[in-house]
Structure 1
């Protein structure tokens, strides 16, 4: 699990909190929010292929500026519900839909029961309905549950049973399987850290007994379901202190875990968005901490590519014997490779390579005569291996004689290094090869190294194959 800080484009990126974020066709759409001075109704788009910001042109009846609203993606349409626009009666009672293909806004007048005002609520899509846990209406904290049937455009109040959540706003929610999870929030007196679950098939609420490292009370955090786990990030606590911690909740074991990641941890914030952008990545954007509005944004990779081992440094002894590399002085064995002589010293190469040791211990006539022909390895490849034994340095270019180093050549060197059990050369080749692995050739390269002790590049190829359909 790894955080990566994305390039900052401060002139183009919006500075907002309590906005909404939608991922659609390689772009992240940021809508509305509060910038510390006024409410917004601008639509921004971040192209995740090049991290360029744009402001798409829309048409139709544009919603009023707002924050604390929700936005839910259904196909290519974004349903914006409620929010606060700073004018009486504070919380709005409207639903707008933006078609991301045509960029046309439409105001929906739902059928069924009367639409209710909602602000700092939550909205989650399950099957063809958006489930809204109301939160606040601008003056009260509430815990009523509603649904919007998208195909029928019907608004309904849901009478669920069981152990209901208490009234709250600025909570967080997500859908996992057929369950709606509600966590934390603010009830007008204190921040909360309780967890409630609604079975969307039976419409029964429950409060599971969780254990482990339970997050402290907070509001304005994010909650996301991905790959069988639920991820909680950030929020604000006592005295509006903001957090940058990350927790994982396992719905099967009811266990909370505090996750410690790499050094690029995001700055503390609340009122941010944390959007799923692939089957193993989430993008953190915006929010605030007091009067600070971070412009940095991050990607959390739940399954980053495997890291290669560092190439071992040269050993001190080899600094003294490097002058003997391919030097006929004191040489007691000569290798003939592609008709060319390569000079070596038995005591050196047998000390550093078990296969060479076995070769000379076997009593072969060639070893006694001082000359061995190597038939199935190229001259330049054998020279690379021998140079490592004398210097402790991996110089893949050694002996290439101006020839370009192809992927096939790197794999050939790996096979030879594996044959003579020279692991650092294999690792160096992995470092070179990993830059050449693409979605298109990952399976081929993995097949070429299948019989080599090269677990790093195999793992990386597996990772590429797993996510080969991503941009």
Structure 2
């Protein structure tokens, strides 16, 4: 892959990630940064490394494959000179969101050591490299990181995140970029569980789709859809390939495809690159990488770029036990050449229509300009699929009834076994008590037995003394008898 001709992309295979060779010095490895491709350059801002927030702004030229560091400046108020500037550093930040708006990059949210209480909107002018703060009014949301921010027309839609007190959120806020006014979206139906480090994309300028993310202990692989006209949440089932729960993944939507890369669950990185057909809600695995590959990381970024009319995905950074600063590219297979049989399934079409066929006449003035969406095709698909879905439901209900009977039977068996277990436990407790009594008796007998030995010795000694005394008495009696007989003989003689 040559770097001098600028034609490195011509030899790439489709649906395969390739690490680009880099000319010159690379920026620091990092994760939870923000990145976007503008005019053939990948802009990378901030991030985190070893617990330290970064403040640099880097640009990677996709033509000559070289990095450069961008120096920022702000307008100076010195001597009221409107044209004077001074060099400044971007605030150290991580977990923030970046959106291109005109010739500016806008930054919202993120964690920083000097974070304010509310969300601050920073900007960088790509032409002058000036940066500053865009003052906003209205119901400004509380400061947070790990949120998602999506551009719809001239409005930014912010969802979820984690505030500086580690409180998780599932609120929706809208920033009108023309008036710089914040508003809260009062949604209906069941919203997603509070989360952060998820991803979001907007389909047809109307449907905000939220995928994955985590709490402090739970990781998600669910999909939630917010109709931006009715502000109604729904939770359709994802069709196609099953995917594992993940957070810290990256996503980029191009036309009707949503490309999803990386993420993990704090134990394993997600090695698959996914693509979801947003109208049909069909998830497919585009390719896989090795388990410890930099692309199987949390906190990486993915952007899109068109080079010579061809679409390329551009990924950077991430952390999977090691921080990365490599640039990877992939050329997805053009949509027309893909096998789309799975997209023709009526069940798939019905699942997609679930999120689309909610209303026929809606007002979108509170969020953005009203798109023209013809729902007749989706409604007809739902009607055609209704009978087969009802039949499937009846079959599931029948299976469920049988399973409930078996469950009740197992519950009865469990009750009987529990009673028997309690009885056996009572018997065991009684036997343990008897054993304790027997051990106490044995110990007492052992003590008595040891004392009997000493008594036996004393009795034996007494017996010996008694025997000696008896012998002495017999001898004395004998002497006495002999002495008495002699006296009488003397008297008689």
1:252 aligns with 2:252: no
1:25: Cα distance to partner? 1.4
1:221 aligns with 2:249: yes
1:203: Cα distance to partner? 1.9
Question: Aligned partners of 1:12 and 1:304: how far apart in 2?
Answer: 31
Residue in structure 1 matching 2:130, options 96, 104, 109: 104
Question: Aligned partners of 2:97 and 2:335: how far apart in 1?
Answer: 33
1:294 aligns with 2:310: no
1:207 aligns with 2:238: no
The residue number in structure 2 matching 1:395 is none
1:233: Cα distance to partner? 1.2
1:201: Cα distance to partner? 2.5
Secondary structure of 2:170's aligned partner: coil
Question: Aligned partners of 1:186 and 1:217: how far apart in 2?
Answer: 9
1:142: Cα distance to partner? 0.4
The residue number in structure 1 matching 2:300 is 272
Residue in structure 2 matching 1:195, options 215, 220, 223: 223
Question: Aligned partners of 1:8 and 1:37: how far apart in 2?
Answer: 26
Taking the TM superposition and a 5 Å limit, the aligned residue runs for 1:370-385 are: none
Question: Aligned partners of 1:11 and 1:36: how far apart in 2?
Answer: 20
Tell me the alpha carbon deviations over residues 95-146 of structure 1, each in whole angstroms, 9 at most, x when there is no partner: 1111111111121220111342111101110100111113111220100011
1:9: Cα distance to partner? 5.1
1:19: Cα distance to partner? 0.3
The residue number in structure 2 matching 1:446 is none
The residue number in structure 1 matching 2:202 is 175
More helix by share: 2
Question: Aligned partners of 1:304 and 1:298: how far apart in 2?
Answer: 19
Question: Aligned partners of 1:289 and 1:38: how far apart in 2?
Answer: 17
Residue in structure 2 matching 1:67, options 65, 86, 94: 94
Question: Aligned partners of 1:62 and 1:156: how far apart in 2?
Answer: 30
Question: Aligned partners of 1:92 and 1:272: how far apart in 2?
Answer: 25
The residue number in structure 2 matching 1:35 is 49
1:12: Cα distance to partner? 2.2
Instruction: Specify every segment of 5 or more residues in structure 2 that has no aligned partner in the other structure, as ranges.
Output: 1-14, 75-87, 337-493
Tell me the alpha carbon deviations over residues 398-419 of structure 1, each in whole angstroms, 9 at most, x when there is no partner: xxxxxxxxxxxxxxxxxxxxxx
1:147 aligns with 2:177: no
1:77: Cα distance to partner? 0.8
The residue number in structure 2 matching 1:133 is 159
The residue number in structure 1 matching 2:148 is 122
Q: What RMSD in Å do the two structures reach over aligned CA positions?
A: 2.6
Q: Normalising to structure 2: TM-score of the pair?
A: 0.58
1:236–1:203 Cα change, 3 Å: same
Taking the TM superposition and a 5 Å limit, the aligned residue runs for 1:220-369 are: 220-237=248-265, 239-260=266-287, 267-278=295-306, 280-290=311-321, 292-303=322-333
1:271–1:9 Cα change, 3 Å: farther
Question: Aligned partners of 2:207 and 2:335: how far apart in 1?
Answer: 31
1:183: Cα distance to partner? 0.8
1:43–1:207 Cα change, 3 Å: same
CA contact (8 A) 1:17 1:287 kept: yes
Question: Aligned partners of 1:146 and 1:268: how far apart in 2?
Answer: 31
Larger mean Cα displacement after TM superposition, 25-34 or 111-120: 111-120
CA contact (8 A) 1:267 1:294 kept: no
CA contact (8 A) 1:266 1:298 kept: no
Tell me the alpha carbon deviations over residues 254-302 of structure 1, each in whole angstroms, 9 at most, x when there is no partner: 2222223699976421101000112621101001112x01232211111
Tell me the alpha carbon deviations over residues 11-58 of structure 1, each in whole angstroms, 9 at most, x when there is no partner: 323311000002111111100000224111110000111011111121
Instruction: Specify every segment of 5 or more residues in structure 1 that has no aligned partner in the other structure, as ranges.
Output: 307-471
Q: Normalising to structure 1: TM-score of the pair?
A: 0.60
- How many residues align? The count is 304
Question: Aligned partners of 1:19 and 1:180: how far apart in 2?
Answer: 23
The residue number in structure 2 matching 1:356 is none
1:303: Cα distance to partner? 3.3
The residue number in structure 1 matching 2:368 is none
1:305: Cα distance to partner? 13
The residue number in structure 2 matching 1:81 is 108
1:230–1:114 Cα change, 3 Å: closer
